[in-house]
Amino acid sequence: MNRLSYIIRRLIQMIPVFFIVTVLVFVLIRCIPGDPALTMLGDRATHEMIEAYRQKIGYYDPLWLQYFIFLKDLLHFDLGSSLRYSEPVINLILERLPVTIGLTVSVVFFTVVIGFPLGFMAGKKRNKLPDYIIRIYSLFGLSAPQFWVGLMLLLMFGVKIKLFPVSNWGDTLPEHIMALILPGITQALGIMAVIIRNLRNNVVDISGTSYVTFARSKGLSEGRIDLRYIFRNALLPTTTILSLWIASLLGGCIIIETVFNLPGLGALMINSVLSRDYSVIQGGVLIFVITVLIINLITDIIYSMLDPRVTLN
Amino acid sequence: GSSASSSNSSAKGSEAASSGSSSADASGTLKDRFTMARPIDSDNLDPVTNQYKYDIWVLASICEGLVKIGDDGSTVEPCLAKSWDKSEDGLTWTFHLLPDIKFSDGTPVTGADWVFSFERAMKHDESIFYTYCKSIDSVEAPDDTTFVLHLKYVDPSILTNLCMCNMVVQSKAYYDKVGEDNYINGPVATGPYYIKDWKKGEYLLLAKNPYYRDTVNMNEIMLKVVSDAQTRELMLQSGEVDLITEVPFNNINDLNSQDGITALGLPAGQERYFIINHRHKPFDNEKVREAIRDAVDIPQIINVVLAGQGQEANTFIPNACMYWDDSVPYPKRDVEKAKELLKEAGYPNGFSFEYCIVSGDSVQEQIATIVKQQLAEVGITANIVVYENAAFRDKYANNGLDFYVGQWTIQSNDPTSIADYWFIYDQSDAYMSGYKNDQLTKLNELAKHELDDNKRAEYFKQMQETFYKDAVAIPIYWGTFPIAYSDKVKDFVQSPLGYYRFQYVKCYK
Amino acid sequence: MSEYTLKNNNSEVLLSVKHLRKEFPIKQTIFDIIQKKEKKKLTAVDDVSIDIYKGENLGIVGESGCGKTTFAKSAIQLYKPNSGEVFFEGIDITKVSRRELRKLCRNFQMIFQDPFSSLNPRMSVRDVLSEALTVHKIVEKSKVNTKIANLIDMVGLNIDQLDRFPGEFSGGQQQRIGIARALALNPKLIIADEPVSALDVSIQAQIINLIKDLQERLGITFIFISHDLRVVRYVTTRVVVMYLGKIIETADTEKLYRNPLHPYTKILLESNPNLDPRKREKKSLIEGEPPSPIDLPKGCRFCKRCKYAMDICHEKEPDLKEIRPGHKAACFKL
Amino acid sequence: MENNILEVKNLKMHYVSKYETVKAINDISFSVKKGETFGLVGESGCGKSSVCKTLLQLLPPNAKFMGGSIKYKGKELIGLSNKELQKIRGREISMSFQELMTALNPVTKVKEQIYEQFIGLKMTKQEKYAKAVNLLKLVGIPSPEQRLEEYVHQFSGGMRQRIMIAIALAAQPSMLLADEPTTALDVTIQDQIIKLINSLKETLGMSIILVTHDLGVVSQMCDSIAVMYAGSIVETGDTLTIFSKPRHPYTEGLIRSMPKDDGSKDRLESIEGAPPNLNNLPKGCSFAERCKYATEICINQMPPLKEVGENHYSKCFHTDLLINSKGLIEL
Amino acid sequence: MDIRCSAVADTSAKSFIEKKKQNILIDTFILILKSKALVIGLIIIGIMLVLALFPSVFTKFDPNYIDGNAIMLSPCTTHWFGTDMYGRDLFSRVIYATRLDLFIGVSAMFVPFAIGTSLGLISGYYGGKVDALIMRIVDILMSFPYMVLCIMIVAIIGAGIKSLLIAMWLVDWKNYARLIRSEVMIVKNSDFIQAAKVMGFSDKRILLRHILPNVLSSALVYAASDIVVCMMASAGLSFLGIGVQPPTPEWGALIALGKTSLSKSWWQSFFPGIFLILSGFGFSLIGDGMSDLLRTRGR
Ligand SMILES: Nc1ncnc2c1ncn2[C@@H]1O[C@H](COP(=O)(O)OP(=O)(O)OP(=O)(O)O)[C@@H](O)[C@H]1O
Ligand SMILES: Nc1ncnc2c1ncn2[C@@H]1O[C@H](COP(=O)(O)OP(=O)(O)OP(=O)(O)O)[C@@H](O)[C@H]1O
Ligand SMILES: [Mg+2]
Ligand SMILES: [Mg+2]
């Protein structure tokens, strides 16, 4: 199928999902107990103050009206402004988005750099010592709590060896990069386990396919076969899994963000839920949904480019 | 004026607060910037509409008013007003202002700024600080060095109230420029520091006010937000920050034992209570409440949870406040008596209730863990239920909580506001406990308008005694601000009210 | 052989397929929809009509992809045909409800092309057979085991292989399990879709013999799909030649083999490799690939590869007409 | 012998797994002459593909070489290093695989898969392209320029078979192992492939080992054949002889179970029973169990490969009984 | 060849059934024994199960008893794993936590597994509108940030394992549904399903007897490692302070509690961590072993 038309169709398909998610967030967030007035005003608020605040934020407006206003603003790319920070939501999000994206990139980087070779090696040396070591290591990665690993790494590389900052998002790119290394490794450790296992199985499967044997019969060198045939083909399904993880990373790094004190979207979202900062939650989820859908689209397209068998529909 | 009763705590406060002043060596050179990490960011630095302690504490280094609370937290000292006169009837106060005061942007402070600032505070009746300026009828500034207050009625605590952050002088020109909506990003004022950069949720950077009339040591103060306590500690250990706040109590000793780090609890005007909802059975029964008071073992709580960094409390007024009464009995564990009381109340086999805690508050969680066992020993079953913050508040506002730990942090050493919160039922359902006692409400009202210090003290004594007698709530402890800092830091001052006095702090290279 | 011809013409019709057409849709792009392009489709079976007589064995041959399987599957409603009717003993099974169809199903069974994939890899032979027997209550509960033993015996498998899984059998054995399963329901018609193409000659012979025996003994009607022309000649009584979804020739087996009319049939028969090593042809008889069933050419479907093609062949589609008694073909040259 | 391009002696190979040992090749010897098409015939699973893969040493990890020798142009292939083998594979001996649907890399263009054969040869891009186009033309793929840019899944089965042959021929090997090149295809395409390989053999002067179980294909292509059963060669000789005068019961059975071309409807003679399990071979002749001539000795002893005619060998104790057996064709 | 219609005696056939069935069990058992991963995994989880069922046999301490005299003891002969800041015995807390943790892991996996499998089956088999609907729901769940949803649920029903479980139940099925659906799509086109249709079987029977057993294996393997992920998620929630209600012992919560003094009292998070990792190991090994087994059983 024509790629462009495919993209357009996928974008059109996103609209209902997107729409339903907005409704869902909108309703859900207002269904849960806790009202912004109480959280914003704190312990000492009197009944009158609470009342006044509620009036101000339109707490008593019917839900559909609130939603309507939300949609109307949305059409002007206005996500409203944060109750807590009194700042346009879009600014809040845009401020934190780079951190989250940076973190995601770092995680993917380490997953790829460490996980791919290990997974490949485990598959090549199937049921030999390296395979066992790598598999046990990956199991460890899967079942060690992130915050624990994170704190341990900080203790080791932040405090004892002072190689990386414990927490310094900083202002310059090198500072940002330094700040992202340890969190990237920590989060990658868990994901890597999945990637390694998946890649290993793929390598085992692909090594046994007849096109690899056929390639050998052509007299190609082992290195070329490993790289061009086994690794490349084994990677395809793994990338899909990786992309699923990337999507969930964008919204779910809260623990890493907390441990490493990164000013990312996860922390913002969680804090906003905790303080019932409605517009931030709505805006955040919206941005998140769009990002996830677009990432999915991109992976599908990339996948179809890498694997000609996959048709886009 | 200050009362004698608070003097002992203030003395202790000033000693501990000005850390390590003895070894003030001239050899070291100062760093450019002092960095501290705290768990939560300020939300709103509008002096009038802010709500959180994290706002007020910082504002204390940004804004100044006519008078200020001393660093020990108990005395009222002159600030921008060098002296003041009070009219005969006590309704007109005339303040004589320091000359040539400038805002941090270099513009001079004028009478118009004063009037604007006060009128704004008086206009915002939804502000939680509104009560402090309730008694003011009007203000005027005959010239740039004189400022006059007209009161509606005689207000004995007017001077302490004037120390509050909502009655500080701010630049009207700046306000007009940015408008009400953006004002939460902070005012332009006259304090030793001004807000240089603020990335919400990430950091707040203060810079030295070049026009400040006094010495200010550090060029910049960086307040980082680091929500995880463990990460804060690691940052201190790695030298990324010079000072951290809200150290978990049980780590204080550990941190202290490390080279180059000092950890301690600064005295705080902070009190925790077990708050019992009188509207829920069986807590409507006074005997039951007393039984609980007898069942809990507060020294153990202080030992385990605070690692000893706290002081047993006896009444609803923190000991850092005026009119605190030492003679009110302290809760004391007596298991037999508690059982007896339960039997009398008709619960010989105990009962069970919901002990509500807010998620993420480790102190609350730890207290709950211990109290659960202590209560179990008299036959009462406490089911610990964790609520996420907003849900907790919702339940709290709708009388849904059975039993929880409340915390009050004072903002002024006058106990009026806390007494209001406990005894003006309509305002807050008596700290949401549902306790209603008209007599106490009346006493509180009397104390508010009484100019005679002794008489006021007497009213407050009565309130405290009744509070104990009715077992309204169970005071637990007066807390401390647990901080830890590197030995490079000298003279960090946080007053018992929590105010940061950044002008004193020195941080060496 | 003439006796078969006679027999067929006198028998009653068991299954009558009328103007059957099956198309597979091709997905459209958004632009196609916007531009209101006509929906593309793959025509796998195009207007096929044929009567199948009781007791006969009808062979279907043709190039791979010409729609043999699709025809068989749409005839018994495994694929919903796009148009056309199929009468089974006078009942139009394209119109009956799903429920009724389910009941009718036991009368016609199918042996699938790929013996392995036609068996559930997680059901043992016993499970497969007993399920068929019990769901339709073919025999009493107590007799199920006996019946299974009979069936297994009938297809020449050993009873102690009953609890094995399909993966543990060879292709020929798997094919026999498929046959046993089909026989379990006592069907009147069995469609055997290339039942021997996956097998070796030696096993192939066993299956062929089995089919012949079944037909003789139980009088079951067969539709036998294969591209092995030798086997078809051996097994069937009548043959249908398909090309690109259409029947192009049909006749009694021997008639057709002895005297093929359609050019394609001729090529097909000659393509069958000669068993005599001394008779080797140098040149391939057929060139090129069949056209795509998506964009069917106008005119005769074979004309592009036909060396006798005339102008009219590119213009019009020839009808299937009776050239000789009992021998129909679709070609203008005839 | 001088004109033998390949000589295989006493080849043995087993597949060893945790659970069983599959004796896939049991003592096989044969030789292939220059320019000859040699057929390996036998029912599926008897080890034909395993022989081919052993020749090129392309065996899966669980395969265990048990002995024997493979001499190609007088040079011993067993024991060669991987590097040396790489020079033989594709350049000298190449192979087209049975698994035509899966033997080509699905994610690279056909062009690249052909180009890979030119690695090491100093060729410019244009030369490579021209050669690739030529190859596709040679195997009869229309519009090769366009087809080179396509991926494998865009080709039909017959096309894939041709592409595989094209790749196998790209480096102009002296020998082609064609593993069931026609099995999965229908008669017309099968016919095309047969004719294609036959003509290629003539123009390029290759030797071919053709693996199949279709006797029709054998008759159209092979000069001599070896009939395999359960991992060993049971009969070998030139095609005409074996087709006309089979001297092994299994060969005879195979031939008899073919339906005749003449329309006769006599009952087919099938070989009863199934081939033995390769992980549990009988002590004696592996065909004994299904053999109508079998006697005690067949069960207890392994028969030797006896010469029964000129260049005609049979692995049976009872070749004499078969002296008059009827073949597929009359001479 | 003649057709042997010999009537096989009823009884002999019957006796054959029983014998064979037994053999299948034994065969399976032997196969299991041959897979080292599976055996080790089963042993680990078996031990865990014993600990979970009879914790009191292994320790004499009450896991919740606060002993003011035993605060923060390092591991010693009485307190094998040391004590925590309240003076509670860590060994007994870790042991008593086993039951809850296994429960969390298994139930957080099982319900989504059941829901996802059913919906995946239906979606894949019927296709069309039902499929579109289910897949849109999956899309929505996929694109909804998980932690935010988790906290919302915590807000609605309170903190604790209950909300964690509900959150997982609500969200996690999507993975199973996708997995199963994609396999059903393949299997439903295979000939044996058509064979079942032509045999006149009902949809229910085809779905449950014919499709399900063929698509379940990959979901099962996924489920085994999913258990670990679920247990990890509960540890994460404890870290955020919305995990189990204190003082209930739970590994994640124990680690989270211990992490406040990592450098001083390493044992507090170390031992529960070891148990968490060990059970993770156990379940993953079972998953690996199962995939091996299913592979050998398959073809
Ligand atoms: N489910 C399907 N969806 C789309 N196209 C199909 C489907 N099944 C078959 N086709 C197409 O319909 C045409 C006829 O296929 P069919 O399987 O009926 O051929 P056949 O004659 O049985 O071939 P073979 O000899 O290879 O079995 C082919 O072009 C095929 O690609
Ligand atoms: N990798 C392997 N591991 C174990 N056994 C194997 C392996 N490959 C093949 N076999 C077994 O070895 C025997 C010979 O296999 P081979 O593929 O050589 O047979 P074949 O004659 O080529 O059969 P076909 O005609 O089906 O291609 C078979 O019984 C097969 O099951
Ligand atoms: Mg077919
Ligand atoms: Mg083979």
Judged by CB atoms closer than 8 Å, whether chains meet at C120 and E5 is answered as no
- Ligand whose nearest atom lies closest to the CA of D280: 2
CB E282 within 8 A of CB A143: no
Tens-digit pLDDT profile for residues B247-281: 988 888 888 888 889 998 888 888 899 999 988 88
Residues of chain D positioned with their CB less than 8 A from the CB of C205: 256-259, 268-271
Q: Which residues on adjacent β-strands are paired with residue B354?
A: B383
Judged by CB atoms closer than 8 Å, whether chains meet at D215 and C201 is answered as yes
Q: Would you list the DSSP string of E239-292?
A: HTT-SSPTT---HHHHHHHHGGGTTT-THHHHHHHHHHHHHHHHHHHHHHHHHH
Closest CA to B311 of B276, B274, B271, B275: B271
> Using CA positions, which residue lies closest to atom 22 of ligand 1?
C69
Record the tokens describing residue D16, joined without a space: 């060893």
Does D270 contact E at CB distance below 8 Å?
Answer: yes
Tens-digit pLDDT profile for residues B458-509: 999 999 999 999 888 999 999 889 999 999 998 899 888 888 999 999 998 8
- Write the single-letter amino acid at E18: E
pLDDT-based confidence at C223, cuts 50/70/90? very high
Ligand 2 centroid–CA D23 distance in Å is 10
Tens-digit pLDDT profile for residues C130-171: 888 888 888 888 888 888 988 888 887 878 778 788 877 877
Tens-digit pLDDT profile for residues D72-90: 998 999 888 988 988 899 8
- A194 belongs to a structural domain: yes
Closest CA to B230 of B205, B255, B207: B255
- Ligand whose nearest atom lies closest to the CA of D43: 2
User: CA-CA distance, C109 to C183, in Å (whole number)?
Assistant: 8
- A34 belongs to a structural domain: no
Pairing of strands D175-179, D207-212: parallel
Q: What's chain B's average pLDDT?
A: 86
pLDDT at C292 over 80: no
Is the pLDDT higher at A31 or at C327? C327
Neighbouring subunits of D (3+ Cβ pairs under 8 A): A, C, E
Judged by CB atoms closer than 8 Å, whether chains meet at B52 and A42 is answered as yes
Judged by CB atoms closer than 8 Å, whether chains meet at E155 and B388 is answered as yes
User: CA-CA distance, A289 to A90, in Å (whole number)?
Assistant: 15
Domain architecture of chain C: domains with CATH: 3-329 (3.40.50.300)
Q: Which of E136, E276, E288 sits opposite A17 (nearest CB)?
A: E136
Q: Which of A5, A12, A313 sits opposite C31 (nearest CB)?
A: A5
Closest CA to A236 of A199, A196, A193: A199
Is the pLDDT higher at C61 or at C290? C61
Q: What residues of chain A, 99 to 138, have a C-beta less than 8 Å from chain E?
A: 135-136
User: In sequence order, which ranges of chain C are alpha helices (DSSP H)?
Assistant: 2-10, 30-34, 68-75, 98-104, 125-135, 144-154, 171-184, 201-218, 229-235, 253-258, 263-271, 311-315
User: CA-CA distance, E92 to B246, in Å (whole number)?
Assistant: 31
**Tokens 């020739």, residue located:** C249
Q: How many CB contacts within 8 angstroms connect chain A with chain E?
A: 127
Running DSSP on this structure, what letter comes out for residue B503?
T
Does E205 contact D at CB distance below 8 Å?
Answer: no
Over B54-104, what HEC string results? Answer: HHHHHHCCCCCECEEECCCCCCEEECCEEEEEECCCCCEEEEEECCCCECC
pLDDT at C3 over 60: no
Record the tokens describing residue E124, joined without a space: 């894949």
pLDDT-based confidence at B117, cuts 50/70/90? very high
Rounded (10°) CA dihedral B1, B5, B10, B12: 160
Spell out which residues line ligand 2, taking CB within 6 angstroms. D 15, 22, 24, 44-50, 60, 62, 98, 213, 278
Looking at chain A, which residue has its C-alpha nearest residue D167?
A: A218
pLDDT given at position D123: 85
CB atoms within 10 A of CB A143: 26
pLDDT given at position E295: 62
CATH code (residue A165) = 1.10.3720.10
User: CA-CA distance, D110 to A273, in Å (whole number)?
Assistant: 54
Looking at chain A, which residue has its C-alpha nearest residue E241?
A: A255
D near C: at least 3 beta-carbon pairs less than 8 Å apart: yes
pLDDT at B16 over 60: no
**Tokens 């033993």, residue located:** C149
The pocket of ion ligand 3, defined by CB under 5 A, consists of: C 69, 113
Please give the helix or strand (H or E) that residue C283 lies within, else none: none
Q: Poorest-confidence range of B63-67, B149-153, E141-145? A: E141-145
Does E295 contact D at CB distance below 8 Å?
Answer: no
Tens-digit pLDDT profile for residues C172-202: 788 889 989 998 988 999 999 988 877 778 7
Chain A interface test: which of C27, C29, C31 (most A C-beta within 10 Å): C29
Ligand 1 pocket test: pick from C61, C70, C80 the residue with the most ligand atoms within 8 Å of its Cβ.
C70
Q: What homologous superfamily does CATH list for D4-107+173-322?
A: P-loop containing nucleotide triphosphate hydrolases (3.40.50.300)
Does C34 contact A at CB distance below 8 Å?
Answer: no
pLDDT given at position B416: 84
User: Helix, strand or coil for residue C237?
Assistant: coil
User: CA-CA distance, E142 to D205, in Å (whole number)?
Assistant: 61
Residues of chain B positioned with their CB less than 8 A from the CB of A46: 427-428
Ligand 4 centroid–CA D98 distance in Å is 6
Record the tokens describing residue B308, joined without a space: 């000893």
Record the tokens describing residue C35, joined without a space: 């531009």
- Ligand whose nearest atom lies closest to the CA of D47: 2
Domain ranges of chain D: 4-107+173-322
pLDDT given at position A240: 78
User: CA-CA distance, E252 to E242, in Å (whole number)?
Assistant: 11
B near D: at least 3 beta-carbon pairs less than 8 Å apart: no
pLDDT-based confidence at B181, cuts 50/70/90? confident
Does D83 contact E at CB distance below 8 Å?
Answer: no
Record the tokens describing residue E86, joined without a space: 């309240």
Record the tokens describing residue D173, joined without a space: 């090997």
Looking at chain E, which residue has its C-alpha nearest residue C184?
A: E199
Judged by CB atoms closer than 8 Å, whether chains meet at E34 and D18 is answered as yes
Q: How many domains does chain A have?
A: 1
Tens-digit pLDDT profile for residues B24-35: 444 578 889 999
Q: What is the mean pLDDT of residues B240-249?
A: 91
* Diameter of chain A measured on Cα atoms: 85
Does D240 contact C at CB distance below 8 Å?
Answer: yes
User: CA-CA distance, B254 to B239, in Å (whole number)?
Assistant: 17
Q: What's chain A's average pLDDT?
A: 82
pTM of the model: 0.83
pLDDT given at position A309: 67
User: CA-CA distance, B356 to B392, in Å (whole number)?
Assistant: 8
Q: What is the mean pLDDT of residues A62-78?
A: 82
Closest CA to C50 of C80, C82, C75: C75
Residues of chain C positioned with their CB less than 8 A from the CB of A2: 29, 31
- A47 belongs to a structural domain: no
User: Helix, strand or coil for residue D18?
Assistant: coil
- Write the single-letter amino acid at C93: I
Judged by CB atoms closer than 8 Å, whether chains meet at B359 and E64 is answered as no
Counting residues of chain B whose pLDDT is more than 70, the rounded percentage is 95
Ligand 2 centroid–CA B259 distance in Å is 72
- A214 belongs to a structural domain: yes
Does D267 contact C at CB distance below 8 Å?
Answer: yes
Residues, chain B = 509
Most confident residue range from A182-186, A276-280, D154-158: A182-186
Judged by CB atoms closer than 8 Å, whether chains meet at C30 and A313 is answered as no
pLDDT given at position D186: 80
Judged by CB atoms closer than 8 Å, whether chains meet at A154 and B43 is answered as no
User: Which residues in chain D show pLDDT less than 50?
Assistant: none
CB within 8 Å of D295: residues ≥ 6 apart: D317, D318
CB D185 within 8 A of CB D193: yes
Q: Would you list the DSSP string of D162-227?
A: HHHHHHHHTT--SEEEEESSSTTS-HHHHHHHHHHHHHHHHHHT-EEEEEES-HHHHHHH-SEEEE
Please give the helix or strand (H or E) that residue E25 lies within, else none: helix E10-34
pLDDT-based confidence at A43, cuts 50/70/90? low
Q: What angle do CA B45, B46, B49 make, to 5 degrees?
A: 115
User: CA-CA distance, C297 to A273, in Å (whole number)?
Assistant: 64
Judged by CB atoms closer than 8 Å, whether chains meet at A139 and E281 is answered as yes
Q: How large is the ipTM?
A: 0.81
Q: Poorest-confidence range of A55-59, C6-10, C298-302, D293-297? A: C6-10
A near C: at least 3 beta-carbon pairs less than 8 Å apart: yes
Tens-digit pLDDT profile for residues B199-209: 888 899 999 99
User: In sequence order, which ranges of chain A are alpha helices (DSSP H)?
Assistant: 3-31, 36-41, 47-57, 63-75, 89-110, 116-124, 129-143, 146-153, 173-207, 210-217, 222-224, 232-252, 254-259, 265-274, 278-306
**Residue A138 is part of which domain span?**
98-306
pLDDT at B13 over 50: no
Domain architecture of chain E: domains with CATH: 9-298 (1.10.3720.10)
Chain A interface test: which of B55, B126, B409 (most A C-beta within 10 Å): B126
Tens-digit pLDDT profile for residues E41-79: 899 999 999 988 988 888 888 888 888 787 788 888 888
Counting residues of chain A whose pLDDT is more than 70, the rounded percentage is 95
Q: What residues of chain A, 10 to 49, have a C-beta less than 8 Å from chain C?
A: 12
Judged by CB atoms closer than 8 Å, whether chains meet at E34 and D19 is answered as yes
* Ligand 1 atom at shortest distance from the alpha carbon of C66: 21
The pocket of ion ligand 4, defined by CB under 5 A, consists of: D 49, 98
CB C250 within 8 A of CB C239: yes
Q: What's chain E's average pLDDT?
A: 80
**C265 touches ligand 1 (CB under 6 Å):** no
Q: Which of D43, D265, D328 sits opposite C202 (nearest CB)?
A: D43
Rounded (10°) CA dihedral A53, A57, A60, A61: 160
Tens-digit pLDDT profile for residues C52-97: 999 899 999 988 888 899 999 999 988 899 999 999 988 899 999 8
pLDDT given at position B18: 44
Burial of residue C121, with CB atoms counted within 10 A of its CB: 0-12 exposed, 13-18 middle, 19 or more buried = middle
Does D266 contact E at CB distance below 8 Å?
Answer: no
Neighbouring subunits of A (3+ Cβ pairs under 8 A): B, C, D, E
> Using CA positions, which residue lies closest to atom 26 of ligand 2?
D44
pLDDT at E1 over 50: no
